[in-house]
Amino acid sequence: MSATQDAPANCKVVLASTIAKKLGEEVREGVKTLNKAPLLVGFLSSGDPAARTYAEFTGKTCRENGFDFELREVDREDLEDAIIAANQDSNVGGIIVYYPIFGNRQDQYLQQIVDVGKDVEGLSHQYIFNMYQNVRFLDAAHKKKSILPCTPLAVIKILEHLQIYNTILPYGNRLHGHNITVINRSEVVGRPLAALLANDGACVYSVDIDDVQQFHRGQGLRKRKHEVVEKPGWTLENCLPLSDVVISGVPGDKFKVPLNLLREGAVCINFSSEKNFTPEVKEKASIYVPAIGKVTIMVLLRNLLRILQNRGESDATPADSLETRGTVEESNPA
Amino acid sequence: MSATQDAPANCKVVLASTIAKKLGEEVREGVKTLNKAPLLVGFLSSGDPAARTYAEFTGKTCRENGFDFELREVDREDLEDAIIAANQDSNVGGIIVYYPIFGNRQDQYLQQIVDVGKDVEGLSHQYIFNMYQNVRFLDAAHKKKSILPCTPLAVIKILEHLQIYNTILPYGNRLHGHNITVINRSEVVGRPLAALLANDGACVYSVDIDDVQQFHRGQGLRKRKHEVVEKPGWTLENCLPLSDVVISGVPGDKFKVPLNLLREGAVCINFSSEKNFTPEVKEKASIYVPAIGKVTIMVLLRNLLRILQNRGESDATPADSLETRGTVEESNPA
């Protein structure tokens, strides 16, 4: 009568396609409010096969969701002029450049060539500055949302879908109480992601190959933006047992998250193209998201709609058709 | 430009009245489906002033929500016969007895005198057994819900309101990943509460004056009900830094939860009539619920509706008008 029956481990695997589908509906609703299909122009200037695959996938997703996409393959020496021409062409709604191109600081230079009003990737300095400073709007009237970089924003949208953002808390503080480990501190994903999560109230452990940094708004979230504190001597052994959410994006197939350090019932998200979690993660995690790519590309289209709204080229109430509750993206702070 | 502005600590104080109001709407919807106002009979057989206050508050809440209430004051020597008479009276919908009466094991004897079909407090052995064994229905067809004791269930309803129950997880596992400290292990509240939370997937540290016990369904929630493990040598110093939810109900005004041990952003709930948390809890907690009484009394009325449904005296689809998503009480497991 009181016999204990053991069952398989309970882990909910959530696929990016499920979340992308939901975002897709939102995006297609937004496109309907426009007079014509928005044109996204992609620039491919390298032989990098991953860049070409990403470009092709962008095109496919654009067409499936009511956007036009044009891939412009130009020599890298001509790229700067080509971007400037696209900036000036009123038929071009948004611009995406497939990096790496030179693979050095010249790539960062090119990122600043794209017009801020056409930058769907959120790489312009103004957007990056706003993100780190926890400034969410471009205008005093709070009608124009600052653009967030696609991959970090995709992780945010996933955490929102997983209800890790608690909508009972006020806008801007909805990760309060969560300890989150982010493994990867690249300028493109890991560091902006840690900043976004901490600005929303989480205590974030940002783990790099060399060190651990804590991103946090302080006890009671008294600070209006996060601060970064070095944690000398800390490693994953310190961070993982504290963390209810673990997000990993280490490139290559060498690194695996040490599951013995994982907290029972942790939420685990992989954003590396290689799997940073071995399949046994399902023995301990409450929720596991094995990949995020499909969400990232949908966020890119979402950003394109957003910049059209910011430029006043959409008839929709600014930002309205894009909004869902609970995240850094919400338009009406409580 | 990048100056850090410190603000007051962010803590959302959630009042029991807010949650009781929501439950009240649900309860009044349920009453509408009945042919006549259900009668709750309360037995008062002691001079305990707290018992009388509770009885008066029950009557007031009944009348406000479409129930009839009758307080029967009887000598404690006549109580057993009076309960038996109420059991047999078809006009009596539910029975509540205000304890303590003898203040010894005779009170537990009296608890088993109340007809299981009229026991709104969920104190009958069958209900208690089901609760500890994680058996949620009285029948094979899963139409009749087992009754849960009011105060522990009130805490569950509060955690549901606070969105600590994550509805993205399957029914029965929606606290997976949460570490919860419950300070108090009384048979009436603390121990059943720890069991309910653990059966729903939480790792619970049940703290008594003497020791700490862990209630848990094991890694990956492989067990179908919780098991209890002694934690020799453990105290609040071990439990609190691990816990994202802290629930305290220590009687008297001596005990205060040591806030220095509290995890930043913890959710704190007090169910003692004295405050177990000092006001400074708001410096560290993300959410604070200072009292739960108004929710408890609404849960009592909810239980009364439930037993009427179980007895087939309600025209409503069994349990339907009472259900909300996400808790031990949900009728349609995913």
Residue A89: pLDDT over 60: yes
Which tokens is A229 given?
Answer: 């504190």
A34-134+295-312 maps to CATH 3.40.50.10860:
yes
Average pLDDT of the residues in B152-179 = 97
What pLDDT score does B249 carry? 96
What pLDDT score does B316 carry? 52
Q: Classify B319 in phi/psi space as left (phi over 0), alpha (psi -120 to 50) or beta.
A: left
Q: Is B246 strand, coil or helix?
A: strand
Residue B286 to residue A9, Cβ atoms within 8 A: no
Closest residue to A6, CB basis, from B8, B223, B286: B223
Binned at pLDDT 50, 70 and 90, residue B322 comes out as low
Residue A334: pLDDT over 50: no
Least CA distance to A287: which residue of chain B? B169
Closest residue to A222, CB basis, from B1, B7, B265: B7
DSSP string, B125-138: HHHHHHHHHT--BS
Residue range B35-118, CATH number: 3.40.50.10860
The secondary structure element, H or E, covering residue B155 is: helix B150-161
> What digits encode the pLDDT tens for the residues B29-60?
999 988 889 999 999 998 889 899 999 999 99
What pLDDT score does B77 carry? 94
More confident call, B331 vs B48: B48
> What digits encode the pLDDT tens for the residues B179-203?
999 999 999 999 999 999 999 999 9
| Chain B hits for A6, Cβ within 8 Å | 218, 222-224
DSSP B145: B
- Over its C-alpha atoms, chain B yields an Rg (Å, rounded) of 20
Burial code of B273-284, b = ≥16 C-beta within 10 A, e = fewer? eeebbeeebbbb
| Chain A hits for B14, Cβ within 8 Å | 168
Whose CA is closest to A284, among A257, A269, A266, A261? A266
Q: What CA–CA distance (Å, rounded) separates A311 from A115?
A: 12
Least CA distance to B244: which residue of chain A? A177
Q: What CA–CA distance (Å, rounded) separates B205 from B327?
A: 20
Residue B177 to residue A265, Cβ atoms within 8 A: yes
How far are the Cα atoms of A221, B246, B289 from residue B282, in angstroms, in the given order? 11, 13, 10
DSSP string, B174-230: TTTT-EEEEE---TTTHHHHHHHHHHTT-EEEEE-SS-EEEEE--GGG-BSS-EEEE
Residue A169 to residue B284, Cβ atoms within 8 A: no
What pLDDT score does B181 carry? 98
What pLDDT score does A316 carry? 52
Residue B3: pLDDT over 50: no
Least CA distance to B2: which residue of chain A? A133
Q: Contacts by B208-211 with C-beta closer than 8 Å and gap 24+?
A: B208/B184
DSSP B326: T
Residue A221 to residue B9, Cβ atoms within 8 A: yes
Question: Which CATH fold would you assign to the domain A152-293?
Answer: Rossmann fold (3.40.50)
Peptide linkage before B258 cis (omega within 30 of 0):
no
Residue A333: pLDDT over 50: no
Q: Is A13 strand, coil or helix?
A: strand
What pLDDT score does B332 carry? 39
Query: With contact defined as beta carbons under 8 Å apart, do B196 and B182 qualify?
Result: no
Query: With contact defined as beta carbons under 8 Å apart, do A65 and A88 qualify?
Result: no
Here the ipTM equals 0.84
Residues of B assigned a catalytic role: 150
| Beta-carbon count within 10 A of B312 CB | 10
Share of chain A above pLDDT 90, in %: 84
Average pLDDT of the residues in B17-25 = 96
Q: Do domains B35-118 and B152-293 have the same CATH topology?
A: yes
Domain segments of chain A as ranges: 34-134+295-312, 152-293
DSSP string, B27-73: HHHHHHTSSSPPEEEEEE-S--HHHHHHHHHHHHHHHHTT-EEEEEE
Q: How many Cβ contacts (< 8 angstroms) between chains A and B?
A: 134
Average pLDDT of the residues in A192-221 = 97
DSSP A178: -
Residue A271: pLDDT over 60: yes
